[in-house]
Amino acid sequence: MNGGLSRAVVFDLDGTLIDSAPDIHAAANTLMARHGFAPFTPAETRSFIGSGVPHFITCCLRARDRAGDAALRAQLIGEFIDLYETAVTLTTVYPGVAGALEALASAPYALGLCTNKPAGPARAVLAHLRLDAHFPVVIGGDSLSVRKPDPAPLQAAVAGLGARDVVYVGDSEVDAETAARAGLPFALYTEGYRKGPVDAIPHDRAFADFGELPGIVAELLS
């Protein structure tokens, strides 16, 4: 699928390549209004992001004192995923991402995606932002029976690319744990949705500017 490339870079999506928090916030508040709950602030919904839709909805319900309502949780998960399929209009690509992807593809590295966002919404937003051509392999939060930080999704992305030497790029504690459990070097994008300080998150390299990433990858795989 990657033309026989043995080196690859696998990326997280939300908070790493794209700032999707505004769309996620809007979708969450659409659901809250539909079910008679008070809306959330952008900071609240941003703090819920990173571990997939079921976890996100659990956080929403916990904040509205309905965490124990299993039937409502199941209903909201389904409704949120339906909204999520078209929640692309407020999402933006982080500065420097497009150039970094071009540089990495030209190096050449195979490029893949491993996200806890469901695969359908992930592909939809990649297509909307014209990033989809870079990623022949997309592993979403519903692609397997487990999600990050279980290493299996990342391992599936690596296997799909057929690569041997791989760097994982993400923005969060979940991504750092996933890389560690998969035994892969981890590059931390510091401007995403991490919950704590950079020095509290295990990483091999940290960066705030995507212009630095091709050099970081070359260093980590040298």
Contacts of 28 (CB under 8 A, 6+ apart): 40, 45, 48, 56, 60, 80
CA 28 distance to own-chain centroid: 18
Average pLDDT value for residue range 139-145: 97
Catalytic-residue membership of 199: no
Provide φ and ψ at 163, rounded to 5°.
-95, 155
- For each of the domains in the chain, give its residue range(s) and CATH number, in order of start: 7-19+91-220 (3.40.50.1000), 21-84 (no CATH)
5 pLDDT tier (thresholds 50, 70, 90): confident
**Alpha helix positions (H), 52-131:** 53-63, 70-84, 97-106, 119-128
* Average pLDDT rounded to a whole number, residues 28-39: 97
CB 19 within 8 A of CB 177: no
> Comparing C-alpha atoms, which of 12, 19, 9, 169 is closest to residue 102?
9
What digits encode the pLDDT tens for the residues 80-114?
999 988 889 999 999 999 999 999 999 999 999 99
Query: Does this model's pTM top 0.95?
Result: no
The predicted-structure confidence for 60-84, as pLDDT tens digits, reads as follows: 999 999 999 999 999 999 999 999 8
Catalytic residue among 12, 14, 19, 23: 12
What mean pLDDT comes out for the span 154-175? 97
Question: Tell me, what DSSP letter sits at residue 199?
Answer: G
Question: From residue 87, how far is each of 13, 19, 172, 174 by CA, in Å?
Answer: 14, 12, 22, 23
What is the reported pLDDT for 1? 46
Q: How far apart are CA 12 and CA 15, in angstroms?
A: 8
SS3 165: strand
For residue 165, how far is the Cα from the chain centroid? 21
Classify residue 200 by its DSSP letter. Answer: G
pLDDT, average across residues 141-153: 97
For residue 210, the 8-state DSSP code is G
pLDDT for the residue 150:
98
Q: Are 116 and 52 in contact (CB under 8 A)?
A: yes
Q: Chain-wide mean pLDDT for the chain?
A: 95
